[in-house]
């Protein structure tokens, strides 16, 4: 097989890149290890920044999002038994976010690719990337029991944190930066209308909790737990009781309970690999960087990477100039490190570290009060949360 752009991974990054290339008339093939049902049902992110919404709309993938997504104009920070609303539009010149699950973004992009685009092969596992320092890199992959080769002009690794693409960058060139947190999130999906109109980020002496939602009928909630937690140790009643305790607030707010339909534990990690390009191999999304989910940045960073990359590939195909491809890694890493910092800030301000002292806890509260009381501090949070414009 031969194509112009070989894309490893059919998550949000790979699928949006394929869509952008389809629209630009650039040939591509997407290789996805899992089957279609698996990638469409994998529960992950749910908050789209303004720039992500704009990017999906601009490539014709925003129709269902605009119909079914929930536009949010703020979040609540809850601490010391009180809620403090951060109003995004007034702090950011009108920006907001959209609650629309990653599963739905993936379904929309898969449907568009299959209806209007180039090949998207499910159950196609890339096993190696070779020749990235030549003009003819290739991807070796397994599909339908056969060993196959895809020859490309460029290879894009959109294969997530556990992917193989980045091994195409020699170890002598690759640098990795990492921080692992001593806690994770126990996340649940529950068939119950959300108990709030906007997300609640709760700091409590018992640990962090987040109230999010998927639809007006489905709630998504998270509890900070030790990273080695077995979800089976958390029967439903225990989860609801703990959520109740962490969201406790003065006044008559009540947490609605309902049947829990999914339960899983996600570890928390900050991780960046540099550079994001080597020869004819480019990395995008979780293949190059991971953030803890507290700032809702993972999916949005993946989308931002491929928007920058699609523009650079289009420029290269139409002019022959590699200027934008050469700038790709530096351009993305600037945004990536901003998001890494914000995600680290949100995580460490809101979670209780097992080793933290009473003094550390007081500093966290001082920081949260500052955000609640100061327009400057709230603006800093709002600008980062709604996302730095793509430019
Ligand atoms: C459990 C979990 C919960 C999360 N929750 C949140 C959240 O609440 N908020 C938030 O903002 N972010 C969250 N994230 C992060 C967010 O989901 C990711 O940042 C986002 O999925 C990145 O998209 P991506 O396309 O780069 O990678 P992925 O979505 O990981 O997609 C990579 C794709 O590559 C495929 N693949 C891997 N290896 C190969 C191979 N060898 N050959 C072919 N295909 C391959 C995989 O099957 C996958 O489909 C979460 C992540 C996880 C893991």
Could you tell me the residue range of the domain that residue 40 belongs to? Answer: 5-46+65-70+100-177+269-346
Given 211, 297, 328, 351, which residue is catalytic? 297
Q: What does the pLDDT look like over 171-212, one tens digit per residue?
A: 999 999 999 999 999 999 999 999 999 999 999 999 999 999
Q: Is residue 385 part of a domain?
A: no
Q: In total, how many domains does the chain have?
A: 1
Q: Tell me, yes or no, if 89 is annotated catalytic.
A: no
Q: Is residue 202 part of a domain?
A: no
Biggest alpha carbon distance in the chain? Answer: 66
Which of 109, 159, 296 is the best mutation target for the ligand 1 pocket, counting ligand atoms within 8 Å of the beta carbon and taking the most? 159
Q: Tell me, yes or no, if 181 is annotated catalytic.
A: no
Q: Tell me, yes or no, if 328 is annotated catalytic.
A: no
Q: Which residues of 289-298 are buried (b: 16+ CB within 10 A; e: fewer)?
A: bbbbbbbbbb
Q: Is residue 134 part of a domain?
A: yes
Distance (Å, rounded) from C-alpha 88 to C-alpha 237?
Answer: 35
pLDDT score of 102 more than 90: yes
Query: What would the mean pLDDT of 370-389 be, rounded to a whole number?
Result: 96
Q: What does the pLDDT look like over 7-65, one tens digit per residue?
A: 999 999 999 999 999 999 999 999 999 999 999 999 889 999 999 999 999 999 999 99
Percentage of the chain surpassing pLDDT 70?
A: 100
Place of tokens 């605009």: 66
**Residue nearest (by alpha carbon) to ligand 1 atom 38:** 163
Do the beta carbons of residue 139 and residue 156 sit within 8 Å?
Answer: no
Ligand 1 binding residues, C-beta < 6 A: 8-14, 31-34, 39, 44-46, 102, 125-126, 158-160, 163-164, 266, 285-286, 293, 296-299, 302
pLDDT score of 391 more than 70: no
pLDDT at site 135: 87
**Residue nearest (by alpha carbon) to ligand 1 atom 9:** 45
Here the CATH number for the domain that contains residue 330 is 3.50.50.60
Distance (Å, rounded) from C-alpha 88 to C-alpha 83?
Answer: 16
Which of 140, 163, 219, 287 is the best mutation target for the ligand 1 pocket, counting ligand atoms within 8 Å of the beta carbon and taking the most? 163
Given 12, 33, 72, 73, which residue is catalytic? 72
pLDDT score of 278 more than 90: yes
pLDDT at site 3: 98
Do the beta carbons of residue 10 and residue 39 sit within 8 Å?
Answer: yes
Q: 3-state SS of the chain?
A: CECCEEEECCCHHHHHHHHHHHHHCCCEEEECCCCHHHHHHCCCCCEECHHHHHHHHHCCCCHHHHHHCEEECEEEEEECCEEEEEEHHHHHCCCCEEECCHHHHHHHHHHHHHHHCCCEECCEEEEEEECCCCCCCEEEEEECCEEEEEECCEEEECCCCCCCHHHHCCCCCCEEEEEEEEEEEEEEEECCCCCCCCCEEECCCCCCEEEEECCCCCEEEEEEEECCCCHHHCCHHHHHHHHHHHHCCCCCCCCCCCCEEEEEEEEEEEEEEECCEECCEEECHHHCEECCHHHCCHHHHHHHHHHHHHHHHHHHHHHCCCHHHHHHHHHHHHHHHHHHHHHHHHHHHHCCCCCCCHHHHHHHHHHHHHHHHCHHHHHHHHHHHHCCCCC
Q: Is residue 169 part of a domain?
A: yes
Distance (Å, rounded) from C-alpha 282 to C-alpha 279?
Answer: 8
Which of 9, 15, 287 is the best mutation target for the ligand 1 pocket, counting ligand atoms within 8 Å of the beta carbon and taking the most? 9
**Residue nearest (by alpha carbon) to ligand 1 atom 4:** 44
Q: Tell me, yes or no, if 107 is annotated catalytic.
A: no
Query: What would the mean pLDDT of 256-283 be, rounded to a whole number?
Result: 97
Closest-CA residue to 156 (of 53, 251, 27): 27
Distance (Å, rounded) from C-alpha 323 to C-alpha 285?
Answer: 21
Q: Is residue 335 part of a domain?
A: yes
Given 292, 293, 328, 351, which residue is catalytic? 293
pLDDT at site 389: 85
Q: Is residue 83 part of a domain?
A: no
Instruction: Look at the chain and count its residues.
Output: 391
Q: Is residue 12 part of a domain?
A: yes
Q: Tell me, yes or no, if 177 is annotated catalytic.
A: no
Phi, psi dihedral angles at 9 (to 5 degrees): 110, 125
Whether residue 275 is preceded by a cis peptide bond, meaning omega within 30 degrees of 0, is yes
Q: Is residue 251 part of a domain?
A: no
Handedness of CA 278, 283, 286, 287 (dihedral sign): negative
Do the beta carbons of residue 281 and residue 157 sit within 8 Å?
Answer: yes
SS3 at position 113:
helix
Edge-to-edge, what's the strand order for the sheet holding 70-72?
A: 47-48, 97-99, 70-72
Do the beta carbons of residue 279 and residue 135 sit within 8 Å?
Answer: no
**Whole-structure pTM value:** 0.95
């Amino acid at each position: 097989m031969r194509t112009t752009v070989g894309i490893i991974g059919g998550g949000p990054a790979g699928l949006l890149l394929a869509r952008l290339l389809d629209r630009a008339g650039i040939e591509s093939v997407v290789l996805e290890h899992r089957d279609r049902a698996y990638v469409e049902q994998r529960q992950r992110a749910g908050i789209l920044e303004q720039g992500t919404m704009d990017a999906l709309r601009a490539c014709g993938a925003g129709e269902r999002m605009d119909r079914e997504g929930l536009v949010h104009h703020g979040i609540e920070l809850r601490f010391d038994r009180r809620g403090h609303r951060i109003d995004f539009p007034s702090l950011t010149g009108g920006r907001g976010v959209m609650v629309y699950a990653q599963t739905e973004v993936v379904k929309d992009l898969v449907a568009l690719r299959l209806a209007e685009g180039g090949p998207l092969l499910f159950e196609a596992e890339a096993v190696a990337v070779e020749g990235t320092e030549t003009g003819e890199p290739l991807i070796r992959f397994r599909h339908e029991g056969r060993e196959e080769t895809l020859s490309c002009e460029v290879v894009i690794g959109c294969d997530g944190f556990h992917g193989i693409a980045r091994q195409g960058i020699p170890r002598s060139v690759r640098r990795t930066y990492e921080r692992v947190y001593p806690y994770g999130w126990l996340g649940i999906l529950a068939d119950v209308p959300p108990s709030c109109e906007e997300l609640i980020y709760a700091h409590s002496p018992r640990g962090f909790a987040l109230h999010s939602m998927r639809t007006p009928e489905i709630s998504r909630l998270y509890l900070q737990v030790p990273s080695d937690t077995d979800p089976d140790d958390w029967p439903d009643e225990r989860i609801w009781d703990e959520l109740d305790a962490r969201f406790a607030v003065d006044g008559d707010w009540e947490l609605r309970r309902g049947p829990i339909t999914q339960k899983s534990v996600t570890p928390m990690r900050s991780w960046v690999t540099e550079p994001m390009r080597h020869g004819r191999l480019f990395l995008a999304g979780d293949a190059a960087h991971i953030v803890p989910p507290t700032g809702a940045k993972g999916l949005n960073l993946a989308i931002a990477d491929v928007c920058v990359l699609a523009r650079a590939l289009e420029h290269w195909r139409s002019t022959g100039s590699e200027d934008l491809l050469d700038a790709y890694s530096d351009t993305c890493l600037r945004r990536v490190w901003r998001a890494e910092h914000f995600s680290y800030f949100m995580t460490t301000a809101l979670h209780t570290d097992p080793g933290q002292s009473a003094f550390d806890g007081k500093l966290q509260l001082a920081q949260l009060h500052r955000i609640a009381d100061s327009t400057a501090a709230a603006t800093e949070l709002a600008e980062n949360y709604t996302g730095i414009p793509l430019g």
